[in-house]
Structure 1
């Protein structure tokens, strides 16, 4: 019961932070005040605050209490395993997606290697540009094994492929391996991105697996240099 209580308090405070009731730099009420407000023990409140600290919502400072951190700087478009549609919901000015290509093709030597394809095995190629404030600054190139994803449409690709895979196909997407590199621009980058004179892009490569550890997707997310920022939150465990 206590575990449910401290988790409920944690979630309530997270929602308060997201709604702006607590702003970055604000100090949370004291443990005593929170215990009275939630009608629970200080031990339960302490567990809730520890969880908030572990997840980057607050910093506990001796003599000052719990200070709310700026979570916007920790929202990584390339961190975690979420769809672009899910990330867009957190943005005040959501970007627009354009499907440039949707192609059914046989895997070439490169795709056979990165997707562990059998010779002649087919894949879906999806090329989408992401437009922020009138500029195409991200190019996403996705490849899905057709043996797992039998059908794709332009409408699905424009909306959310992951939503379709999970809700319609019942697939359980579990984990991904990521690589980050800087590469010279390709012809596709010049064709689909507003590069503003930049001749390199940041490339985030994803190898995505299902719950049974089946590799089913390879992705290259190609970012214009001035629009790419890698910011993450890490806490040293003692």
Structure 2
């Protein structure tokens, strides 16, 4: 069951997506929303904060929360978010096509990672589709030392929901590299790219709470469908 602020967030997001609150308009004030949903202003602030984080609104001092253009989806650079979670938070209404599940060794040269031995993994390749358009090609290498086998139905749904909910793994942190690259012929076809259109590639290495490396990921994004966003705080270095 969703908590109160999450339910309000999803309701407001639906209204923005369906243009009940059109681009450039302002949401009702916190007080008005609290009355509308029969809740506290603190709960409304949490819902608005989630809308802000996911790119639905921008807060303008003295005016309120203005609705932003949602032509692109926001990809959180600094966080660890599964595609299913991204789909739910941004109402993408996506589907997943599993292209491959097989045993492979991690191509360490792709990830600029050094190891004294080959790393055995389950390779999972999936195509993410939104509104009948392919937008992301995900290639995951899950180390056999951590997860011995991945069922097809898990790959079609959510790896992280399975890892955390079923296997009890505690996913903690990741290192990421983001580059703009020219796609291969196969990637161009799978993502329905225009000739000479480049892609944004996010390569990551993900670790468990005990610092065990368990996953390598290569996510190939259509650049016309995503904004890559981060939260940065000013830190002066003397």
Within the candidate set 206, 229, 234, 1:232 is matched to: 229
Contact residue 34 and residue 44 of structure 2 kept, 8 A = no
Contact residue 71 and residue 225 of structure 2 kept, 8 A = no
- CA distance 1:127–1:200, change in 2 (3 Å): same
TM-score of the aligned structures, taking structure 1 as reference length: 0.71
- Show the counterpart of 2:188: 190
Structure 2 distance, partners of 1:27, 1:235, is: 28
Aligned residue pairs, count: 221
- CA distance 1:237–1:52, change in 2 (3 Å): farther
Aligned-pair CA distance for 1:132: 2.7
- Show the counterpart of 2:150: 152
- CA distance 1:133–1:52, change in 2 (3 Å): closer
C-alpha offsets along residues 73-114 of structure 1, whole Å, 9 cap, x if unaligned? 895235432211222234555222111121212344526853
TM-score of the aligned structures, taking structure 2 as reference length: 0.71
- CA distance 1:174–1:71, change in 2 (3 Å): farther
Aligned-partner SS, 1:119: coil
C-alpha offsets along residues 37-96 of structure 1, whole Å, 9 cap, x if unaligned? 9898xxxx689859956983662524x4x3355495895235432211222234555222
- CA distance 1:164–1:182, change in 2 (3 Å): same
- Show the counterpart of 1:130: 128
- CA distance 1:125–1:159, change in 2 (3 Å): same
Task: Structure 1: give runs of 5+ residues left out of the alignment.
Answer: 1-7
Structure 1 distance, partners of 2:12, 2:88, is: 16
Does residue 170 of structure 1 match 2:171? no
- CA distance 1:91–1:55, change in 2 (3 Å): closer
Structure 1 or 2, whichever has the larger Rg, is: 1
Structure 2 distance, partners of 1:13, 1:92, is: 14
Does residue 208 of structure 1 match 2:209? no
Larger % of helix: which? 1
C-alpha offsets along residues 125-157 of structure 1, whole Å, 9 cap, x if unaligned? 111112233332321111111101111122221
- CA distance 1:117–1:126, change in 2 (3 Å): farther
